[in-house]
């Protein structure tokens, strides 16, 4: 019986070792975590885990094979031209020598993100975005990679990346064609004309105008949150015209 007791103890010990034994893949994930840095995740906080999980999967594969996972429909984006334009606009930007940028098709939950892995910059967007949003977000996310060394706070990084990115897409001289005087109201016809001219969403064009000081903060807030017109006001206006 005594002889059996040590065996029982050793069996329990080895069972514990089996449950906690060394897993090379787990060690690699923990090791690579020190080299992975998510910069900007588009969308809401709920989108962040999906973007992060995708980034981890892509970089794990890249670390071992230098290719994107085969089941991800990846198409390279023309990030070099964006980097050139941004650096010409703002000499504070510093980019890694290696930039991996592209679109993934058919990836549920992906909203887009910028990140750094080792000495690389990564920018991934969903291919389903419309053309104007692809160009816009590619520029903003690329700017975030170039500005990362200046901003530890991610909210500040995104705000500055938007400012720098929009400045490169919307030159001040062109903006003054529409915002030469301070406007306080933006009818639908004006919004449509501006968006079509720049091929960018109007709310981002308006944000650029705000950065330039061409529109007030109050006008932007009013444009983004239009006040409901009271029915009584409408009835009074109709009555006046009838009189």
> Of the candidates 34, 102, 37, which has an alpha carbon nearest to the alpha carbon of residue 67?
102
Residues 210, 194: Cα–Cα separation, whole Å: 15
Sign of CA dihedral 202, 208, 211, 214: negative
Report residue 26's pLDDT band, with 50, 70 and 90 as the boundaries. low
- Angle subtended by helix axes 48-65 and 24-33, to nearest 10: 110
SS3 41: strand
DSSP-derived secondary structure letter, 201: -
- Are 120 and 98 in contact, with CB atoms under 8 Å apart? yes
Helix (H), strand (E) counts: the chain: 11, 5
Residues 35, 120: Cα–Cα separation, whole Å: 10
- Owner of token pair 């992975």: 36
- pLDDT surpasses 50 at 14: no
Percent of the chain predicted with pLDDT > 70:
81
Mean pLDDT rounded to a whole number for the chain = 83
Q: Which residues pair with 98 in a beta bridge?
A: 120
- Are 105 and 37 in contact, with CB atoms under 8 Å apart? no
Residues 135, 141: Cα–Cα separation, whole Å: 10
> pLDDT tens digits, residue range 120-155?
999 999 999 998 999 999 999 999 999 999 999 999
Q: What is the mean pLDDT of residues 176-180?
A: 92
> pLDDT tens digits, residue range 207-242?
999 999 999 999 999 888 876 443 333 333 333 333
Q: What is the mean pLDDT of residues 19-48?
A: 73
The whole-angstrom distance between residue 207's C-alpha and the CA centroid of its chain comes to 16
Q: How many C-beta atoms surround the C-beta of residue 27 within 10 A? A: 10
pLDDT of res. 30? 52
Residues 37, 232: Cα–Cα separation, whole Å: 55
Tokens of 33: 């975590």
> Of the candidates 69, 135, 142, 131, which has an alpha carbon nearest to the alpha carbon of residue 101?
142
- pLDDT surpasses 80 at 15: no
């Amino acid at each position: 019986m005594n002889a059996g007791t040590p065996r029982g103890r050793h069996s329990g010990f080895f069972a514990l070792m089996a449950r906690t034994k060394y897993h090379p893949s787990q060690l690699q994930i923990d090791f690579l975590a020190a080299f992975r840095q998510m910069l900007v995740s588009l969308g809401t906080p709920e989108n962040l885990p999906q973007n992060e999980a995708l980034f981890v999967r892509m970089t794990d594969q890249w670390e071992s094979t230098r290719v994107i996972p085969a089941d991800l429909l990846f198409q390279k984006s023309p990030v070099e031209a964006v980097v050139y334009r941004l650096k010409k606009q703002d000499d504070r930007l510093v980019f890694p020598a290696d930039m991996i940028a592209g679109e993934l098709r058919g990836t549920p939950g992906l909203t887009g993100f910028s990140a750094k892995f080792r000495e690389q910059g990564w920018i991934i967007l969903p291919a389903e975005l419309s053309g104007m949003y692809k160009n816009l977000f590619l520029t903003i996310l690329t700017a975030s990679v170039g500005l990362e060394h200046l901003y530890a706070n991610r909210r500040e990084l995104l705000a500055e990346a938007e400012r720098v990115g929009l400045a490169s897409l919307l030159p001040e001289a062109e903006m003054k064609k529409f915002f030469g005087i301070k406007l306080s109201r933006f009818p639908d016809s004006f919004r449509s004309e501006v968006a079509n001219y720049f091929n960018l969403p109007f709310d981002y064009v308006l944000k650029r105008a705000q950065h330039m000081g061409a529109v007030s903060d109050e006008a932007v807030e009013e444009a983004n949150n239009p006040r409901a017109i009271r029915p009584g006001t409408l009835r009074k206006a109709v009555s006046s015209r009838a009189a």
